[in-house]
Amino acid sequence: MYLPVTLLSLAARRIAEMTIKSNDLQINNKLLQVPTFFSLSTGGMTENKIISASSFLAVLFGAIHCIEWTFIFSSHIEGLLWKISSMVITAVPFWILVVTIAYVLNSFPFLTEVAAGDWGLTGLTGLLVLLSLYISARFILITLSLMDLHNLSPEAFAVVVWSKFIPHV
């Protein structure tokens, strides 16, 4: 097998083992610490609601970045990178939301196998590709935002007399 696929599989398996073990752990009052990735088991439907709500909020977060679609950028490349990255951070959570809703409604029978743990190499690879795309897009948006600070208009450097805005002074 190829080395990158093997390394990604090992990393995903290790994270899954930590998560599964910490979900099976019984917490009592005498423990002084809990594992790093510990979370209480909430049951299938509650987890689906959490994933759906998180994905919905992530789609809204991406949509806020799409507002800047028609803004003027310092270069055509920066504008294009912003548009592509904002679409990625909107589309990836939307895809997760659609898959979660389809799983809840039993629209796709293969999702039951995925939920049972039979991911297979294709599902794991797809998830890792989406995750890497999302992280890359977020990094690009942060970088572009910081790069835009070098093109501020002169009004951004104007000294504000704050005493004009405070009525009781």
The residues spanned by each domain of the chain are 1-41, 43-151
Cβ atoms of residues 58 and 110 within 8 Å:
no
Q: How confident is the model at residue 42 (pLDDT cuts 50, 70, 90)?
A: low
CA distance 106 to 109: 6
Cβ atoms of residues 16 and 118 within 8 Å:
no
| DSSP code, position 163 | G
Cβ atoms of residues 55 and 94 within 8 Å:
yes
Q: What are the pLDDT digits (tens) for 111-161?
A: 555 555 555 556 667 778 888 999 999 999 999 999 888 878 888 888 888
Angle (CA) 96 99 100, round 5°: 85
